[in-house]
Amino acid sequence: MKIENSDGEINKEMNLSPLISRGTGDDGQREEEEMYVPPLNFAMVDCGVFRSGFPGRANFGFLQSIGIRTIVYLCPEPYPEPNNEFLKANGIKLFQFAIEGCQEPFVNIPEETIREALKVVLDVRNHPLLIHCKRGKHRTGCLVGCLRRLQRWCLSSIFDEYQRFAAAKARVSDQRFIELFDISSLKHSPLPLPFSCSKR
């Protein structure tokens, strides 16, 4: 592709082929290296805990590369067959917590379901672990926000993190749920607490 500068002069040729590294195998044949593509809204929550939107086939190699052992899925819909096959092939456990994706003002986040999901997240035997819903915004944001409460984050930092992922779709009701969530039953949990929770 030819690129022109602001004066209309042609500067150079550019190859816009896909960004795939190529090497040669033992037999001298060129081979393509797999590109690792993280799922939408992917981020590390803490050591051994990640969050994202719904992973698709394009993300499977990436999830393998970080050694995911457990998936915490926060939607009521059945897990797709290609994803189930990927989990079985890689020995990944699936924990599904059916939380309906609701719009304000009719939002009903089941506190007991969040509590049960947190128990899975807090159990280091399940790490490395990926928490996800459809877009990695509201349901995932509520679960991570409640985890941050256990980690003794201040509310303003929790809400900043929630809003960073939810962006223009941030819900006051989600933030209210996080603020009012009762963490007392989890503070003295017999489960081994991971990362910064265990240092308190």
- Give yes or no: 102 in active site: no
Catalytic residue among 47, 75, 102, 133: 133
102 contacts 77 by C-beta, under 8 angstroms: no
Supply φ then ψ for residue 149, to 5 degrees: -60, -45
Ramachandran category for residue 146: left, alpha or beta (phi over 0 → left; psi -120 to 50 → alpha): alpha
Q: d(Cα 91, Cα 88) in Å, to the nearest integer?
A: 5
Cα 155–159–162 angle (5° rounding)?
140
Cα 118–119–124 angle (5° rounding)?
105
Positions marked active-site? 133
